[in-house]
Amino acid sequence: MRSSRCAGRNRGRIWTSCLGIVVAAPAIAQTENNPGYDRPGLGFTPAVLQPGDVMWEQGLPDWSRADGVSFFTADTLLRLGLGLGHALELQLGTGWRWLDAPGPDSDGRSGTSLALKFAPAAAGDLSWGLLAGIELTDGDRAFRNDQEQYLLGAALSWQHSADRALGLYLEAVRGDTDGELLAINDGWALTSALGAYVELALQHVAGVGHGSMAGAGVTWQATPRTQLDIGARHRLGGHADTWQGGVGFAVYFGD
């Protein structure tokens, strides 16, 4: 699950933990039944895996920096197609996190996250999906929330040409601290295997305030089943991380 985080200890994670993209830049070199990847970028792709298919998405790591403190996340997401009308997908996530700040560095496992994605078949050039999830409090004390976090996200994609798509992502998080996120994305294919995207996001965290960021990234379809990615974001204003970035990969296991 790509969940936002709350203020204080978790404020720096509100962007880096939203690692999925609203709509991946078109990857022409994919296998036929690969619906797309949920990383990189903000949100998730509004499509689900076929029944029994599996996707492994991994940060190597992703990172953020704010107020002189760097935060790294090697998050792991496993996606499983459930079927039930070919519109449901189960997601299981966790990760290893470490903090680079004045004083002793610390590291540990984040809480386990569970999510269910619903995304019906696209209607022409439009596709949409919903994601509902929970993050548990079973991680190491310094890297988990004090109470369970609940997330509800919605993604909309418009494939307005063969090699270009626009996306919109909305998210609400409830838990230790409430938060909302709005992101827009423009992705396009540079070649049959190389894609690029730009994104703009606005956030609000209760008790902290509003903030905005903009970013860009590149994806490379190294094989029909493997995507590599790199991207970065920078604060435009308000309460947000000064910088964010990351590298990672995703592997599709299916027909």
- List pLDDT tens digits, range 179-208: 999 999 999 999 999 999 999 999 999 888
pTM of the model: 0.85
224-243 tens-digit pLDDT: 999 999 999 999 999 999 99
Domain ranges of the chain: 8-253
pLDDT at 103: 67
- Beta carbons within 8 Å of 31's beta carbon, 6+ residues apart: 224, 225, 252, 254, 255
Query: How does residue 19 score in pLDDT terms, banded at 50, 70 and 90?
Result: very low
155-187 tens-digit pLDDT: 999 998 989 999 999 999 998 889 999 999 999
What is the per-residue burial (b if ≥16 Cβ within 10 Å, else e) of 37-62?
A: bbbbbbbbbbbbbbeebebebbbebb
In the chain, the percentage of residues whose pLDDT exceeds 70 is 87
Q: Average pLDDT, stretch 62-89?
A: 91
Which CATH architecture fits 8-253?
Beta Barrel (2.40)
- Mean model confidence pLDDT for the chain: 86
Alpha-carbon span 166 to 55, nearest angstrom: 23
